[in-house]
Structure 1
Amino acid sequence: MDRGTPEPAPAQRHAVPGRVPLAVAVVDRAGLVTHWSSGARKLFGHPREEAVGRPAADLMPIAGALRSLAGADHDSGRVPPFTEPLPGQDGRLPVPAVDDVSADLVDGLAPGPGWPGAGRARCTRPEHGPLDVLWWSYPLAGPGPERLLVLAADAERLRAGSGAAAGADGLTPAFAPHTDLPGGEELAERLSDVLPGMGPAAAGRIVSQILELGYPVLEISQRERVPVTHDWGLPRHAARRRTPRPYAGAGEAAALPPEPEEAPDLEHAAVRERLEFLNEVSSGIGTSLDLERTIREVTSAAVPRFTDFAGTHLRAAVLAGEGFPDGPPDVTTVWHRVWVEHNDEPGRWDDTVPVGEAIAFPERTPFFQCMVTGEPVLIPHISEELGNRISGQFEKRDLRPLINGRSMLVVPLKARNVVLGFMVLMRRPGREPFNDMDRTTGAELAARAGLVLDNARMYTYQENVADTLQDSMLPQLAPHMAGCDTATRYLPGTRLGRVGGDWFDCVKLPGSRTAFVVGDVMGHGLNSAAMMGQLRTAVQTMAALDLPPEQLLRNLDDLAQRLGEHYLATCVYAVYDPIRGELRIANAGHIPPVLVRAEDGRSELLDLPTGAPIGVGGVPFETATVPVSPGDRLVLCTDGLVEVRGQDIGTGLAALCESAAHPAASMNDACDTIIRALNPRGGRKDDVALLMARLNGIPPRHVAHWRLERTPAEVRRARTLVRDRLAAWGLHSASENAVLCVSELVTNAVRHTDSRQLQLRLVRTDVLLCEVTDEEHTLPTLLGTALDKESGRGLRVVGALAREWGASHGRQGKTVWCELPLARTVRPRSNTG
């Protein structure tokens, strides 16, 4: 189309089929020209200044187009003034020497309001001689004054540029949807450039109507339709053109019976069109394994090329990722409407068939028939009676305005012969109804979509399994532990197979100590999550035995090698003693922790001996002791937080130190600050585990320690010491149970060990910890007791009174301990208002 640009290059000046210079004009409701292109000036000889504002009938021999506009205004009772014959005087164009040949049929439909028209006219231009004009017209709708878009071309130039095979006598003007033309999407993008200097609002409105009504084309043969658009290229299969027959108007050509030898070619063209459609759809869907996104791609691909409305429903179990459906659907099966696409006016379908609705379809409906039989259901035309019957099966919704008069095709989405969902396709009145070939095309579309959906379903199911597995293995940590407060964050990765093996944990140890651990299993997916669970369980078990950090990592490394050669993980293990005020840390190939000092707010990466990852084997581990003060914060994380592809990890570690030192109102706020600083837009590909602990310590005034001799008299002394200390702490309610438990523990140490000295310690936190340490390494066991025996009941008494009790190896023997609950202190209520 001529876009009002400078003259084309010499190679483009000679018109050939598909490269036709066009005259473009826009006519308003009164029949006056509102826009006039440079191509119209070249064809008809009138400059834009003279043409705009004049009656279109004075400028162009397009009576057929103007009669179409008159018909569009007929319902309003107006008859445009330009429908009467005009005299050929006063500088006006003479009435055409040959009557306009108007297209009575366009794609099998009579021209009328809202439909394009086409024709041919011969006229004589002043000073230019005779002119053979091909024209096409689009009646326009919308809020603007534009009511008719007229395109015209010189048939003589077509004949001169394309040879006898494409001569004017063999041309038939018509219209075709963009799906009939190669590169239709590119053509649609250029339409707004073709319009004669219009604003974006009017041009966009007209372009949308052209896309719906069809492009102007020249039927040079019965096999090819060539779009009349600037620089559009040559038709395909030019060698197969038949000998042109004498020219006939579009209506006459449509009325003639098809020649027998052309039937196979027409069928071949229809099949080819459908194959192209299916290939384009197949290439456009399945770009993601996200189930809902795949559904949107499948639904949107069918509109508007194949259908005017498409709604996709999936089984609730499939959408929830619960695995492959078991058995065929029935009236109790719940379906979710995942997506709806249509080219009707906005909001028309939203209230009646909203996206996201869960519904069980009634039995006597075409939808139920499709999902039960697994076969497409075709209804070429939904009569009023049928529409009423279908709508009557649904309570509290009226489908009749949406389905009556339309053509419907319901196709199943199947995988392994099980119906996962179905698509409802409908065409509006006036469009060719669905036929048997469309049913085959729809079934093939659904089959390809079903395969893609099943892949997405399986991925969603596996991802849900891995998520569930990982969530079940990540601990739910208490925010407050003896001498410390904790906060954690876990962020799943965004890459494919995002479930990984990152984990964190806090383990309660004897002596009011706490073990912190953060680990990262190499790899992603179910295997990594399962390995993470095994290693985490092993760490908890060995931590409960109170093993030194280096020995725990040594045992964990041996376990990983026994489990398999592909078990590799990094891990850092730290034990915090709030009474001593120290951290004992061992590292197995992990990024070092960050320690934020409470005294000056300074943060530092701890300089630790770095061992090899767990599973390598044969590498020693070392423990480093780090003194800490009350209020210091320990930050442990996995490398997914600080490592960015293409960036040195030192940059991420520096950012971690800086963000960790930022003051925060709470531990949770401090974690959020780190996440925002190092993961600003959620773009981390790897999963992230973050553990932060504020090391509060235990004040010395809350700890009492005594040395006892290994004599029976010390049992009575121990009871007195405990009673007096609890009285000083104001814990009178816990005194009786504490005295009894300590008495039993000291008695066992006196009777069953050879220790020269015993140690008794009381630690007051949110519970009361009682510890008795001796020099024996044999741990006590809970034995069954007979009724006639006086001994063996001490630990049973302790177990009945204490919240927890246990025994662990120490540096110089063993420690037997128990924890007693403390009653919460109730503050006196104020009498003031």
Structure 2
Amino acid sequence: MDRGTDAGTASGGGARNGAVAESVAAGRIPLAVIVVDREGLVSHWSRGARRLFGTPKEEAVGHAAVDLLPVSGALPEDDEITPYGAYAAYDGLGPDLEASLDGRLSYPAAGRARLSVPGRDRADVLWWAYPLVGPGQERLLVLAADADGARRDDADDAGDGDSEENAAVERIAPGFALHTDFPGAQDLARRLPEILPSMSVGESARIVGQVLELGYPVLEFSQNERVPVTPDWGVPRRTERKARRERAARAAASGEPLPPDLEDDGEDLEYAAVRERLEFLNEVSGRIGSSLDLSRTIVEVSKAVVPRFTDVAGTYLREQVVAGEGFPDGVPDTTTMWHRVAVEHTDEPGRWDDVVPVGEAMPFPAHTPFFQCMTTGEPVLVPRISEQMGHMIAAQFEKRDIRPLITGRSMLVVPLKARHVVLGFMILLRHPERVEFNDMDRVTGAELAARAGLVLDNARMYTYQESVAETLQDSMLPHIAPRMSGCDIATRYLPGTLLGRVGGDWFDSVKLPGSRTALVVGDVMGHGLNSAAMMGQLRTAVQTMAGLDLPPAQLLRNLDDLAQRLGEHYLATCLYAVYDPIASELQIANAGHIPPVLVRAEGGRSDLLDLPTGAPIGVGGVPFETVRVRVSPGDRLVMCTDGLVEVRGEDIGVGLATLCESAAHPAASMDDACDTIIRALAETFSKAGRGGRKDDVALLMARLGGIEPEDVATWGLAAEPIEVSRARDVVREQLYEWGLNSLADQADLMVGELVTNAVRHARSRRIELRLVRGDTLLCEVDDDDPTLPTLLSTGPYDEYGRGLRVVSRLAREWGTSRSASGKTVWFEMTLPRR
């Protein structure tokens, strides 16, 4: 540092003023910049701090400042340091900065400290501390400098012939002065933001204003001279760097040595600028991509660049990307719709919301810089948005005037690309007061967009896969009727909360002959698209085999064989139950699934059914067993997958006990009962500190209402043509007894057709006719011929084939199914309103 005068001239008034004026430009010294938060932890650690204190940034940020800053007090007196070295802080404050790191500092403080540095005996550190007030938490700004370097620079300027003056230079201390005392305030206001943490223009100006208001940092010498301090560490402005390079080039061309101010001080400033941008990119890369959620990733990208790189960031994505569809095809054109998905800015809240609301979709004309970016896939730099360009851009916003928001600002439009396809773009704007974007910013923005585009594409692909899997799963989950013959059914399906939450849980119900209902719950192990696809295959197989009226154990045996033939390396658990409302009986078989809960209507007791566990589907070679359970009207059967009762780190017994308890709780409806169970399990695991549910859940509850004996009528018929007339008579008589006279004629006709077919095709003399009165009128005809009848195309002269066509026209619903002893043909009729 060069004070620009000597001791002799410093005592004169005019000479002193001239010395001070010359010292304003010469008082630039390297400064370390540290910011300490209210908790006393370092939140910013500049390169100058790394040089001065020897601690890397990654080891300083987030650590206690008192462990890193040797500023616990002034230096003690000794032979080398004069009493002036024990400088008392400005405004009567003590020099103990350590006591001020908890945020209680109300005034600026300054001091000196001794620092041990590897390779040197010691180093003297000068420091200044400023309290920074709002918005947000209070912080402490600390500026520090190497006192040895300041003395050495000044001693060189004083000359070798004046030893007394050299000794005087040793006596130096940090101090403060009002910014009106020196003409260097503007220089400080210009230079200080370059070494502060990257922040918005408003926050930077606010900090500079507080520093100037609290006291201009100065160096005080033993002659009572004061030299204002201007920071000289950081990356100079582009014009300054260019001038330095030109001077260095001229010196090299002439063979002259470099001027002292161009000599390498250990770190080339141009490389420092490049490294600073690389550090910024690495920091941004670490902040984005923490989630595969597309909307969250977009917010992360926007917040990563504001305010450090830009003041406004608007993100636009193509319509296909936002919709979670496949990869967009082709080059965008003027008809391509772009959705505004995020706007981040440092302006006052709400200023951008009405003019450019998030969620709006719009195309961009060919003459805009946005269209140029999206079609070329290259960044577009607009140093300043002129009034003409502002009017051109604002023209597409209809009645909203965007010109006040963009005119005069510097703009950089960067594409968000992946695999050479433009997924979207970001519009970056800087305030008019901030330095405009340059070529290096263009390169930085392109690299930033490339990394963001990759992260967005990963999120997009994951979202697309999730959408496909969810669509597949939703299409395969059945829409179960709330009322089956003799029972009411309620179901719930809840997707998991883990990544890949789509899984293989399913439930189903199948109508069986004899007014029976098959109830199924299964779980393919694993998550994702493959598990959902495997679930669809197994569910289809269960539907098909249930139609064959196989016993539960035999059905699981066949399902296990099928899984082996499919060759998929998947396992699945399955619980298959058949409810007979006439016999009031359940037949259940288990394949490695958690047992169901049976809630008794009498007494409200709930128990886990004791079933043979069996092995999961896909293991192979394991027998299954059918268990018969007597039930009563009003009993409820609860079947679910393990995602409801099991969480990691908790005994499954806790979940099963909660399931039994909550299932027995009275509820106004079946849906309310399902919700009560889910809510109770969630609260249990939450209280245990196990967090939320991670796996998907399938829940099926059936109220077993049964069918009263007086609502069932059964007749045995011989395989004789005369039995057709008898069948019509008994059906008509039974309908009259039930008060269903209006159905008699149509029922008489359809029963005659079914019994006629049974008589014609029965192998033995046993035919059974059954009427069941429930929500509908069900008629079933059983015979021992396994051949299922089908609808035939008949001509005007064909003698046979019209019976089933008549049934299909008159019945509400009809069908055929194989049974263990032959087949069943049935039809249903809607009961008249009462």
TM-score greater than 0.5 by the shorter chain: yes
What per-residue deviation string (whole Å, max 9, x for no partner) do you get for residues 201-231 of structure 1?
xxxx9999329999999999998459xxxxx
Question: Would you say 1:275 and 2:278 are equivalent positions?
Answer: yes
CA contact (8 A) 1:362 1:394 kept: no
Residue 800 of structure 1: how far off its partner (Å) = 3.1
> 2:663 is matched with which residue?
660
Question: Would you say 1:159 and 2:147 are equivalent positions?
Answer: yes
Q: Summarize the Cα distance change of 1:211–1:471 in structure 2 as closer, same or farther, 3 Å threshold.
A: farther
Question: Would you say 1:601 and 2:610 are equivalent positions?
Answer: no
Q: 1 CA distance for matches of 2:831 and 2:454?
A: 62
Say how many residue pairs are matched.
Answer: 664
Q: 2 CA distance for matches of 1:150 and 1:648?
A: 50
Residue 788 of structure 1: how far off its partner (Å) = 4.8
Q: Summarize the Cα distance change of 1:331–1:22 in structure 2 as closer, same or farther, 3 Å threshold.
A: farther
Q: Summarize the Cα distance change of 1:179–1:412 in structure 2 as closer, same or farther, 3 Å threshold.
A: farther
Q: 1:46 aligns with which of 92, 110, 115?
A: 92
CA contact (8 A) 1:133 1:152 kept: no
> 2:770 is matched with which residue?
761
Question: Would you say 1:574 and 2:577 are equivalent positions?
Answer: yes
Q: Summarize the Cα distance change of 1:288–1:133 in structure 2 as closer, same or farther, 3 Å threshold.
A: closer
**What are the residue-to-residue correspondences of 1:249-648 with 2, within 5 Å?**
259=262, 265-648=268-651
Aligned identity (percent) is 67
Output the amino acid matched with 1:771.
E
Residue 785 of structure 1: how far off its partner (Å) = 5.4
Residue 3 of structure 1: how far off its partner (Å) = 10
CA contact (8 A) 1:466 1:525 kept: yes
CA contact (8 A) 2:492 2:700 kept: yes
> 1:731 is matched with which residue?
740
Q: What SS does the aligned partner of 2:437 have? A: coil
Q: 1:744 aligns with which of 745, 748, 753?
A: 753
CA contact (8 A) 1:289 1:459 kept: yes
CA contact (8 A) 1:22 1:153 kept: no
Residue 153 of structure 1: how far off its partner (Å) = 8.8
Residue 709 of structure 1: how far off its partner (Å) = 3.6
Structure 1 alignment gaps of length 5 or more: 6-15, 24-38, 49-61, 63-117, 119-131, 189-204, 227-255, 826-833
CA contact (8 A) 1:140 1:209 kept: no
**What are the residue-to-residue correspondences of 1:139-288 with 2, within 5 Å?**
159=147, 164=152, 174=188, 180=195, 209-210=206-207, 224=233, 259=262, 265-288=268-291
CA contact (8 A) 2:714 2:769 kept: yes
Q: 2 CA distance for matches of 1:545 and 1:389?
A: 72
What per-residue deviation string (whole Å, max 9, x for no partner) do you get for residues 796-830 of structure 1?
333333233333344544433222233333xxxxx
Residue 543 of structure 1: how far off its partner (Å) = 0.8
Q: 2 CA distance for matches of 1:480 and 1:134?
A: 81
CA contact (8 A) 1:365 1:393 kept: no
What per-residue deviation string (whole Å, max 9, x for no partner) do you get for residues 466-502 of structure 1?
1111110011111111111111111111111111111
Residue 21 of structure 1: how far off its partner (Å) = 5.9
Q: What SS does the aligned partner of 2:771 have? A: strand
Residue 782 of structure 1: how far off its partner (Å) = 4.9
> 2:162 is matched with which residue?
none
Q: What SS does the aligned partner of 1:514 have? A: strand
Q: 1 CA distance for matches of 2:680 and 2:131?
A: 57
Residue 453 of structure 1: how far off its partner (Å) = 0.8
Q: 1 CA distance for matches of 2:568 and 2:93?
A: 84
> 2:46 is matched with which residue?
none
What per-residue deviation string (whole Å, max 9, x for no partner) do you get for residues 443-462 of structure 1?
11011111111111111111
Residue 729 of structure 1: how far off its partner (Å) = 1.4
Q: Summarize the Cα distance change of 1:306–1:142 in structure 2 as closer, same or farther, 3 Å threshold.
A: closer
Output the amino acid matched with 1:210.
I
CA contact (8 A) 1:43 1:154 kept: no
CA contact (8 A) 1:336 1:356 kept: yes
Q: Summarize the Cα distance change of 1:607–1:212 in structure 2 as closer, same or farther, 3 Å threshold.
A: farther
Q: What SS does the aligned partner of 2:643 have? A: helix
CA contact (8 A) 1:745 1:794 kept: yes
Residue 292 of structure 1: how far off its partner (Å) = 1.0
Q: TM-score scaled to structure 2, two decimals?
A: 0.72
Residue 747 of structure 1: how far off its partner (Å) = 2.5
What per-residue deviation string (whole Å, max 9, x for no partner) do you get for residues 272-317 of structure 1?
1111100111111111111111111111111111111111111121
Larger mean CA deviation between 369-378 and 383-392 belongs to 383-392
Q: What SS does the aligned partner of 2:317 have? A: strand
What per-residue deviation string (whole Å, max 9, x for no partner) do you get for residues 383-403 of structure 1?
334323332343111112111
Q: What SS does the aligned partner of 1:306 have? A: coil
Output the amino acid matched with 2:583.
R
Residue 787 of structure 1: how far off its partner (Å) = 5.1
CA contact (8 A) 2:767 2:782 kept: yes
Residue 678 of structure 1: how far off its partner (Å) = 1.4
CA contact (8 A) 2:594 2:642 kept: yes
Output the amino acid matched with 1:734.
L
What per-residue deviation string (whole Å, max 9, x for no partner) do you get for residues 93-123 of structure 1?
xxxxxxxxxxxxxxxxxxxxxxxxx9xxxxx
Q: Summarize the Cα distance change of 1:160–1:819 in structure 2 as closer, same or farther, 3 Å threshold.
A: same
CA contact (8 A) 2:217 2:229 kept: no
Residue 463 of structure 1: how far off its partner (Å) = 0.8
What per-residue deviation string (whole Å, max 9, x for no partner) do you get for residues 712-745 of structure 1?
3332222111111111212122111111121222
Q: 2 CA distance for matches of 1:323 and 1:542?
A: 37
> 1:52 is matched with which residue?
none
Residue 524 of structure 1: how far off its partner (Å) = 1.1
CA contact (8 A) 1:178 1:214 kept: no
Q: 2:814 aligns with which of 801, 805, 809?
A: 805
Q: What SS does the aligned partner of 1:611 have? A: coil
Residue 597 of structure 1: how far off its partner (Å) = 0.8
Residue 150 of structure 1: how far off its partner (Å) = 12
CA contact (8 A) 2:195 2:233 kept: no
Output the amino acid matched with 1:337.
R
Structure 2 alignment gaps of length 5 or more: 1-33, 39-50, 54-68, 74-84, 95-107, 111-124, 156-168, 175-183, 219-227, 236-258
Residue 373 of structure 1: how far off its partner (Å) = 1.9
CA contact (8 A) 1:710 1:758 kept: yes
Output the amino acid matched with 1:524.
H
Residue 529 of structure 1: how far off its partner (Å) = 0.7
Q: What SS does the aligned partner of 2:573 have? A: strand
> 1:700 is matched with which residue?
709
Q: 2 CA distance for matches of 1:778 and 1:609?
A: 35
What per-residue deviation string (whole Å, max 9, x for no partner) do you get for residues 238-297 of structure 1?
xxxxxxxxxxxxxxxxxx997386899221111111111001111111111111111111
CA contact (8 A) 1:138 1:210 kept: no
